[in-house]
Amino acid sequence: MQNLKMKKEFKVISDFLPNNVRVLDVGCGDGSLMSHLIKEKNIEVRGLELKKENVTKCIYKGLSVIEGNAETELHQFPNQSFDYVVLSQTLQAFYDPEKVLKELLRIGKSVIISIPNFGYWKVRFSLLFFGKMPVTKTLPNSWYNTPNLHMCTIKDFFHFCIEKKIKIQKAVGLNEDKTSEIKQSNLELKNFFSKLGIFLIG
């Protein structure tokens, strides 16, 4: 997670968070986001990670991480046990994203979700002109080895929140190093030009 896009995503997530809050990073990977948040903010961060090798990397960095499957083990966390729950580019990999979202909203007072945007213009171009599933910086795997099961667009997730009566406190589209607010009035535009959508909900 050393490229510019990841660093910009981390900054947006960090900007969403006030100081002196408790944060759970679900699917925390090697702890890069956790390390960034601890460095930039005066907050308490814990992680939940499926892969043992990543848990080992986190522990080596001195991070507080437990090994577990977010798909099946989130129910063990008490209601509103964290001020914020963060899920960075992982929602599309779950078998039942709606169930996971409900658990995140139960555990955290607010939830920060980032999603690779399948509506990004380069993704559409790849499908339309090459007839192939796209491989991009935000979608780096081929169709046969991707962990992604439920790809969606910024527009899909925006409308999902409306349909499920989930409050969108703030939403930002990220394209390279540029960020811009996502609103109902510019949804089509941001869905076309943003590589990544970052939502603060709950």
Question: Which amino acid makes up residue 188?
Answer: E
Superfamily designation of domain 4-201: Vaccinia Virus protein VP39 (3.40.50.150)
Pair 115, 154: CB distance under 8 Å? yes
Dist. CA 127–CA 26, nearest whole Å: 31
User: What pLDDT shows up at residue 65?
Assistant: 97
pTM for the whole structure: 0.88
Distance, CA of 106 to CA of 85 (rounded, Å): 10
Contact between residue 84 and residue 112 where contact means Cβ atoms under 8 Å apart: yes
Q: Does residue 50 contact residue 75 with C-beta atoms inside 8 Å?
A: no
pLDDT digit of tens for each residue in the chain (202 aa)?
A: 345 456 899 999 999 999 999 999 999 999 999 999 999 988 999 999 999 999 999 999 999 999 999 989 999 999 999 999 999 998 887 888 899 999 999 999 999 999 999 888 787 777 666 565 656 666 666 545 555 556 789 999 999 999 999 999 999 999 877 899 999 999 999 999 999 999 999 9
What whole-number distance in Å separates Cα of residue 102 and Cα of residue 104? 5
- State the DSSP code for 144: T
Cβ atoms of residues 27 and 113 within 8 Å: no
Say how many residues make up the chain: 202
**HEC per residue, 38-103:** HHHCCCEEEEEECCHHHHHHHHHCCCEEEECCHHHHHHHCCCCCEEEEEEECCHHHCCCHHHHHHH
Give the per-residue pLDDT at 141. Answer: 60
Contact between residue 34 and residue 47 where contact means Cβ atoms under 8 Å apart: yes
CA distance 186 to 85: 27
Q: Where do the structural domains in the chain lie, given as residue ranges?
A: 4-201
**The token pair that represents 126 in the structure block:** 């790849």
Task: Specify the pLDDT at position 55.
Answer: 96
Q: Name residue 114's beta-bridge partners.
A: 88, 198
